[in-house]
A and B are shown apart, each in its own frame.
Chain A
Amino acid sequence: MSVAGTAGRAPTADGGGPWVLGVRHHGPGSARAVRAALEARRPAAVLIEGPPEADALVELAADDGMSPPVALLAHVTDDPGRSAFWPFAGFSPEWVAIRWALEHGVPARFIDLPAAHTLARKPDEPDGLDESDERDAGAGAGLRVDPLAALAEAAGYDDPERWWEDAVEHRGAGPAAADPLAPFDALGDAMTALREEYGDGGHQRDPGPVSPVSAGPRRHARTLAAPGTSPSTSSTRACTRHAESTHLTPQAVPQRPARQDLVREAYMRLQVRAARREFDDRIAVVCGAWHVPALTAKSTVAADRALLKGLPKAKVDLTWVPWTHRRLARAGGYGAGIDSPGWYAHLFGSPDRPLERWMTKVAGLLRDEDQPVSSAHVIEAVRLADTLAAMRGRPLPGLSETTDAVRAVMCEGSDIPLALVRDRLIVGDVLGEVPASAPAVPLQRDLTRLQRTLRLKPEALEREVDLDLRKETDAARSRLLHRLRLLGIDWGEPARSARSTTGTFRESWRLRWEPELAVRIAEAGIWGTTVDAAATAKAEADAVGATALADVTALAERCLLAELPDALPVVMKVLADRAALDTDVGQLAQALPALVRSLRYGDVRGTGTHALAEVAAGLAERVFVGLPPACAALDADGAAELRGHVDAVHTAVGLLGETTTAEGGGTGGTGGTGTGLRGRWHAVLGVLSGRDTVPGVIRGRAVRLLLDDGELADDAAARLMGLALSPGTPPADAAAWIEGFVGGGSGGGMLLVHDGRLLGLVDAWLSGVSAEAFTDVLPLLRRTFSAYEPGVRRTLGELVRRGPEAPGVRPEAAALPGFAPELDQERADAVLPVLRLLLGSVPGADVANLADVMDADVMDADAVEGNGVVEVAG
């Protein structure tokens, strides 16, 4: 603004500078006006709100390889996690000013408080930011006083964005005769009035170009390509969290606006003063409209210096990073407080008839998606938008009118195609580029630092490393490698351990550093400034973009391995959502074991896995409900597959019950859930075992699982088996039942050896099968029994040869069905020393007592090898 225009605050005489151009960051109307003003006044220097450390990088803006949206990234040199971004779009007034200066060979300088100061504060300083504050600050809508809202309200608008659009952005080029500085004058006056009313500190509105975000955009292209996915959700979270840990520049820290704004404005005033001396007042200042009154106000150098005294300082590095429209958008996190960068770019870029051009663009997009949209639709949409604007009393149709018109005319009232328009056009997929000569991204530095501290040198030669996760350094190395893998930087690949231990505390990696990995790191730089933050952001984006349930479970596992607790909530949410909508019980059942595995593994590493447990329990519930209907009307292959799922779910439920019970500890509620889960699973198994439409193999399996868990009454198994093998049942079905009951490597042979009655039933059935049917069932039976160990097979043969046991021979004392009636004292004694070793010495414990307690387990371990008990003990 020509300060001369606002009497009283004018530091210079008419006609001369400085010209303070108050803008709305990323406002196309402001950008247009800035360019017109610069063309008209031709200043000798352009000062821009932004970190002065970037002065050295300004030249790059004219580079051929540079195309907006891009952002200036400042980070503390030895702590890349503390960083801030200043994004610029092609339609940002600041960018327009930079380009104008470079084109005209005029110096362009940044005059905001140096990033060295703004980033200097330690992250652990209390800032009291809560999420909603950040969101709103990020959205550019302040909680306390929003100066633009006040202006808009005065003008009778309920939405400040719309007011700004009508009053400023939609002014268009305007009549050429008008003074190009007139709008800045008016705006400056309005801001002065506001600042007088609300005080200089009440300002939340100015979104400022500074928006700390953890990730950049280039790789986004891939995520964006997936339809229906929006990386924005995850990046929002990433940004929010980042904002908590990083120290934001003043605009984003609502708690300290007054002091911070004053300091920044003092610094800017000093810079303006210096520039005025150097360039004889012929300077233009481009800054947020809010700062205009402060920059033109009278203030002594001494007072400004005093404000700047004793500011903390840190060593910072700056570079350009590519940015995206999506990140500019509100939906993309902090962004710059605009939710329609694509629309703004269109307004800025179209030479004339913006509405007609926009509708044509929309029609083109919808046609590409095979929506029948004709020119007649475009005409009608333009008409409707125009009429709507007239009815709502707006000078030109804005985004809301055009959107309403598109919905009613082109989308048949549906919001689904509209979402596409919003995603592709209103926000847009524009991706910025920076020249290769820009300084290295902080991610590379962070990685180099980690490689040094972990003594893990990048070498081109392939080598294997064995990591012992119980050691801190090794655990950190493992985490680093896992995180890099998540980021697509495959420096290390998991290998089979040479020592082939089954312990969970050992990991083997094959390392090989290839030159192309440097490129990958540069690409991954968009996800964040540190390996940790980048991996988190990437994992979250991957989760949102994943299509199959199994992918998400795998991702959850990888998050645990890479120890990214911050990414877990997002992954878990996505997992829960996918599980809820998945109708395929098979998929659910497949996902459950992996989940439970990660749950237990998370426990080993001491990661908080409460959310995981909750999701796993939810998943189990869904499996319980869906399993019985899914078991009906299956062919043999389907039945075999589902039987595998039943087994897997059984194991998972067992482990899940344990885990939740253990975690619940004292609180009875959680413990109850654990047992409740098992109880309900048993009920489901009961249903399966009794339902005729369920294939034999699954029924048999269900009975067996119930039997193993001691859920069946003493002779219920025999009764059920009798039913399944009764003469009415087709032999093939009965054989399948047997396969399910005793087949596979589940120790079924031993069961038959020890329970004479069951063996008797099988024997009786087999002898009763007719000759023709026998040839049919023979392959199945052979498969069932050939899996047994030779010893078991021999014993069985022996028993069958001896003939059915007399009922009286079976002693009453049998504790568990399926086991020998008596303890083999000698063999049990042999195991005891080992057990004592495993459990630690039990001083004073009665050995006999211990033996009693151990009875069952010893039998289990002995008879049912590999049934989990041994593994758990190990």
Chain B
Amino acid sequence: MTNDALRPHAENAFAHELTALAAADDRPRPARWRLSPWAVATYLLGGTLPDGTVITPKYVGPRRLVEVAVTTLATDRALLLLGVPGTAKTWVSEHLAAAISGDSTLLVQGTAGTPEEAIRYGWNYAQLLAHGPSRDALVPSPVMRAMTEGMTARVEELTRIPADVQDTLITILSEKTLPIPELGQEAQAVRGFNLIATANDRDRGVNDLSSALRRRFNTVVLPLPESVEAEVDIVSRRVDQIGRSIDLPAGPDGIDEIRRVVTVFRELRDGITADGRTKLKSPSGTLSTAEAISVVTGGLALAAHFGDGVLRPGDVAAGILGSVVRDPAADRVIWQEYLEAVVRERDGWKDFYRACREVTA
């Protein structure tokens, strides 16, 4: 948690904002909440406090979603954040935990190999052998710690966790208690405990939630960026950051090409052209903002190392093709239709059309 950490935790990076908010916040706070729900929403969405402190927006998106998310946590229901990869689910959950409990580290990372111990508790075997079963020999999981301390726990990628392990959460969420049969005890959650889970809704099939578990969550779906401008902004900012970290020269007029990539991605993703006049088929790939970023970064690398340093249609065409055509048969037809029906006719897209035709053929 020192300052030279590669990536400081939210509660450290934005400590001054949290302090200022807590000072300015005179609304009722739920038990063990550091801030009132209103202040939590402000922390995420940004704003200016009466004392002039500027709260930077952590999440750019519909206010409604954040309000529903915060309110959910205040009603002691667990929160499930859904969304395709790259829609800031983890980011939102980290900041929510930081703002509510002042600690975003009570985290369980869901993987196919996540064991039950990661959600319930494990044993310190040396202690267990030496002194027999006791609370001292028990190693609490982040969830158990959150329960006993009244904090916010986080579970990342909930749907990647095997179904039987997922169901451990049912008792925790409905009875708010964690039985410890080995000791004949239980750990009861104190007020203030809640849980934020994130799941990728493209992967629903991996380990879909049982309806018993699903019922314990209020669901908030985080959408992809609403407007082209917002997405272009996100992509170019991120590309800039990545570019600097891998020492790519900044392209002078790459913004047009970025806009083009974002437009193509958005149109195919939404199944409709930007002018709203032509419907399109959507390919099987996600075409998320994150993928647009990697296409542009890849294009920049091509331009820098093999081209004249200027991002050109040819540099991104292959990347786009790779992102769009995931299923060689169906997606290819969709891509060609898009090329012929939309790209070919569009003003100023001749170069791009030609470049795409070249890599597609």
Give me the interface of A with B, judged by CB distance under 8 Å: 372, 374, 376-377, 380, 383-384, 387-388, 391-392, 400, 404-405, 407-409, 411-415, 576-577, 580-581, 583, 618, 621-622, 624-626, 629
Does B153 sit within 8 A of A, measured CB to CB? no
Does the CB pair B278–A404 fall under 8 Å? Answer: no
Q: Which chain A positions have C-beta within 8 A of B77? A: 380, 383-384, 409
Does the CB pair A408–B75 fall under 8 Å? Answer: no
Q: Which chain B positions have C-beta within 8 A of A377? A: 215
From B38, B332, B336, give the contact of A391 (CB < 8 A).
B38
Give bound CA distance, A576 to B271, whole Å: 13
Does the CB pair B333–A626 fall under 8 Å? Answer: yes
With A580-B279, A621-B341 already in contact, the answer to whether A387 and B219 are too (CB < 8 A) is no
Does the CB pair A621–B337 fall under 8 Å? Answer: yes
Nearest B-chain residue to A619, judged by Cβ: B341
Q: Which chain B positions have C-beta within 8 A of A629? A: 329, 332-333
Q: Which chain A positions have C-beta within 8 A of B70? A: 391
Does the CB pair B80–A413 fall under 8 Å? Answer: yes
With A413-B221, A629-B333 already in contact, the answer to whether A384 and B72 are too (CB < 8 A) is yes
Count of chain B residues near A, Cβ 8 A: 34
From A376, A400, A624, A626, give the contact of B215 (CB < 8 A).
A376
Does the CB pair B333–A408 fall under 8 Å? Answer: no
Does the CB pair A581–B219 fall under 8 Å? Answer: no
Instruction: Flag B26-53 by CB within 8 Å of A: 1 or 0 each.
Output: 0000000000011001000000000000
Does the CB pair A621–B82 fall under 8 Å? Answer: no
Give bound CA distance, A10 to B236, whole Å: 65
Does B114 sit within 8 A of A, measured CB to CB? no
- Least distance between B44 CB and chain A CB atoms (Å): 13
Subset of 28 A-B contacts with CB under 8 Å: A376-B215, A377-B215, A380-B77, A384-B75, A387-B71, A388-B68, A391-B37, A391-B41, A392-B67, A404-B64, A404-B67, A405-B68, A408-B68, A408-B218, A408-B219, A409-B219, A412-B214, A412-B219, A413-B221, A414-B221, A576-B279, A580-B280, A580-B341, A618-B278, A621-B341, A625-B333, A625-B336, A629-B333
Does the CB pair A626–B337 fall under 8 Å? Answer: yes
Give bound CA distance, A388 to B37, whole Å: 10
- Least distance between A621 CB and chain B CB atoms (Å): 5
From A372, A380, A408, A622, give the contact of B341 (CB < 8 A).
A622
Does B176 sit within 8 A of A, measured CB to CB? no
- Least distance between A127 CB and chain B CB atoms (Å): 28
Q: Which chain B positions have C-beta within 8 A of A414? A: 219, 221
Q: Which chain A positions have C-beta within 8 A of B68? A: 384, 388, 404-405, 407-408
Instruction: Flag B335-361 by CB within 8 Å of A: 1 or 0 each.
Output: 011001100000000000000000000
From B218, B271, B278, B332, give the contact of A380 (CB < 8 A).
B218
Q: Which chain B positions have C-beta within 8 A of A625? A: 333, 336-337, 340
Does the CB pair B71–A621 fall under 8 Å? Answer: no
With A412-B214, A621-B337, A625-B336 already in contact, the answer to whether A388 and B71 are too (CB < 8 A) is yes
Q: Which chain B positions have C-beta within 8 A of A384? A: 68, 71-72, 75, 77, 218
Nearest A-chain residue to B83, judged by Cβ: A413
Nearest B-chain residue to A392, judged by Cβ: B67
Q: Which chain A positions have C-beta within 8 A of B211? A: 372
User: Of residues A377, A400, A408, which shows the largest number of chain B Cβ atoms within 10 Å of its Cβ?
Assistant: A408
Beyond the given pairs A392-B67, A583-B281, 7 more chain A to chain B contacts, judged by CB atoms under 8 angstroms and listed by A's residue number, are: A374-B215, A377-B215, A384-B75, A384-B77, A405-B68, A412-B82, A626-B333
With A380-B77, A408-B72 already in contact, the answer to whether A622 and B337 are too (CB < 8 A) is yes
Give bound CA distance, A392 to B77, whole Å: 19
Does B220 sit within 8 A of A, measured CB to CB? yes
CB interface residues, B 71-93, toward A, < 8 Å: 71-72, 74-75, 77, 80, 82
Give bound CA distance, A407 to B68, whole Å: 10
Give bound CA distance, A626 to B340, whole Å: 11
Does the CB pair B75–A383 fall under 8 Å? Answer: yes
Q: Which chain A positions have C-beta within 8 A of B281? A: 580-581, 583
Q: Which chain A positions have C-beta within 8 A of B330? A: 583
From A372, A409, A413, A618, give the contact of B82 (CB < 8 A).
A413
Give bound CA distance, A618 to B211, whole Å: 45
Nearest B-chain residue to A385, judged by Cβ: B71
Does the CB pair A409–B218 fall under 8 Å? Answer: yes
- Least distance between B155 CB and chain A CB atoms (Å): 17
CB interface residues, B 52-72, toward A, < 8 Å: 64, 67-68, 70-72
Q: Which chain B positions have C-beta within 8 A of A412? A: 82, 214, 219
CB interface residues, B 273-288, toward A, < 8 Å: 278-281
Nearest A-chain residue to B279, judged by Cβ: A580
Give bound CA distance, A621 to B336, whole Å: 10
Give bound CA distance, A329 to B44, whole Å: 35
The 5 closest A-B pairs by CB, nearest first: A413-B219, A580-B279, A413-B221, A408-B218, A577-B279
- Least distance between B342 CB and chain A CB atoms (Å): 10
Instruction: Flag B217-252 by CB within 8 Å of A: 1 or 0 each.
Output: 011110000000000000000000000000000000
Nearest B-chain residue to A380, judged by Cβ: B77
Q: Which chain A positions have C-beta within 8 A of B72? A: 384, 408
Q: Which chain B positions have C-beta within 8 A of A626? A: 333, 337
CB interface residues, B 165-207, toward A, < 8 Å: none
- Least distance between B75 CB and chain A CB atoms (Å): 5
- Least distance between B246 CB and chain A CB atoms (Å): 36
User: Of residues B214, B271, B341, which shows the largest number of chain A Cβ atoms within 10 Å of its Cβ?
Assistant: B341
Q: Which chain A positions have C-beta within 8 A of B340? A: 621, 624-625
Q: Which chain A positions have C-beta within 8 A of B219? A: 407-409, 411-414
Q: Which chain B positions have C-beta within 8 A of A391? A: 37-38, 41, 67, 70-71, 74
- Least distance between A669 CB and chain B CB atoms (Å): 11
Nearest A-chain residue to B222, judged by Cβ: A413
User: Of residues B71, B77, B80, B332, which shows the largest number of chain A Cβ atoms within 10 Å of its Cβ?
Assistant: B71
- Least distance between B321 CB and chain A CB atoms (Å): 15
Instruction: Flag B314-344 by CB within 8 Å of A: 1 or 0 each.
Output: 0000000000000001101100110011000
Q: Which chain B positions have C-beta within 8 A of A624? A: 340
Give bound CA distance, A388 to B71, whole Å: 6
User: Of residues B64, B68, B214, B280, which shows the largest number of chain A Cβ atoms within 10 Å of its Cβ?
Assistant: B68
- Least distance between A268 CB and chain B CB atoms (Å): 42
Q: Which chain B positions have C-beta within 8 A of A405? A: 68
User: Of residues A383, A387, A412, A622, which shows the largest number of chain B Cβ atoms within 10 Å of its Cβ?
Assistant: A412
Does the CB pair B67–A388 fall under 8 Å? Answer: yes
User: Of residues A377, A409, A629, which shows the largest number of chain B Cβ atoms within 10 Å of its Cβ?
Assistant: A409
CB interface residues, B 132-162, toward A, < 8 Å: none
Give bound CA distance, A312 to B70, whole Å: 60
Nearest A-chain residue to B209, judged by Cβ: A412
Give bound CA distance, A664 to B68, whole Å: 55
- Least distance between B256 CB and chain A CB atoms (Å): 25
Does the CB pair B278–A580 fall under 8 Å? Answer: yes
Give bound CA distance, A624 to B220, whole Å: 42
Give bound CA distance, A405 to B211, whole Å: 18
Nearest A-chain residue to B201, judged by Cβ: A413
- Least distance between A679 CB and chain B CB atoms (Å): 13
Give bound CA distance, A837 to B177, whole Å: 98
Give bound CA distance, A349 to B2, whole Å: 62
Q: Which chain A positions have C-beta within 8 A of B341? A: 580, 618, 621-622
- Least distance between B204 CB and chain A CB atoms (Å): 10
Give bound CA distance, A618 to B37, whole Å: 52
Nearest B-chain residue to A574, judged by Cβ: B279
Give bound CA distance, A621 to B333, whole Å: 12
Q: Which chain B positions have C-beta within 8 A of A621? A: 337, 340-341
Give bound CA distance, A17 to B85, whole Å: 66
Give bound CA distance, A413 to B217, whole Å: 10
User: Of residues A387, A414, A576, A581, which shows the largest number of chain B Cβ atoms within 10 Å of its Cβ?
Assistant: A387
Does the CB pair B75–A387 fall under 8 Å? Answer: yes
Give bound CA distance, A100 to B340, whole Å: 64
User: Of residues B37, B214, B218, which shows the largest number of chain A Cβ atoms within 10 Å of its Cβ?
Assistant: B218
Give bound CA distance, A392 to B74, whole Å: 13
Give bound CA distance, A407 to B80, whole Å: 12
Give bound CA distance, A597 to B109, whole Å: 61
